[in-house]
Amino acid sequence: MTDKQETLQQERLRHLMSWRQKWTFLVYFVGLAIAAFLVSAIISLILGAWTAGAVSTAGTIVSGGATRWLLKQRKEAVAEEQKALDDINKAQDLESRRADEAKKAKTIEDMRRQTQDPLLGRLNRPS
């Protein structure tokens, strides 16, 4: 893997991690808003302000739908981030496997030379 490819993959992973963090913060703050709506709805209903209680309850229901959508987006961001990390790991594994195979091939060639040179001398070696 070239340095440019590695840099692009690292940048992609960093970008996806940033989006995951943004979705997480958004889910957290929407959760806080839902809790505030719910508390205000309960207080409004206890105090007898039925209109305010109904509006707060409707806001809580709408916020719940928004939260479902936000959680879906965050789950997609997590999946994309994991895929980017898997791509990086796969590329690194492939590179290390190629290096191991090259090292193994060199070792086999060295062993072949060590066994043939004493028997055949320089006959098999190109000059």
Question: pLDDT tens digit string along 100-115?
Answer: 787 887 887 777 776 6
CA 43/CA 47 separation, integer angstroms: 6
Question: Are 16 and 80 contacting, i.e. CB atoms less than 8 angstroms apart?
Answer: yes
Q: pTM for the complete prediction? A: 0.51
**Would you give the DSSP letter of residue 127?**
-
CA 20/CA 70 separation, integer angstroms: 11
Q: Say if residue 14's pLDDT is above 60.
A: yes
Q: Say if residue 122's pLDDT is above 60.
A: no
In the prediction, which pLDDT does 10 show?
80
Give the residue-averaged pLDDT of 14-20.
Answer: 81
Amino acid at 110: D
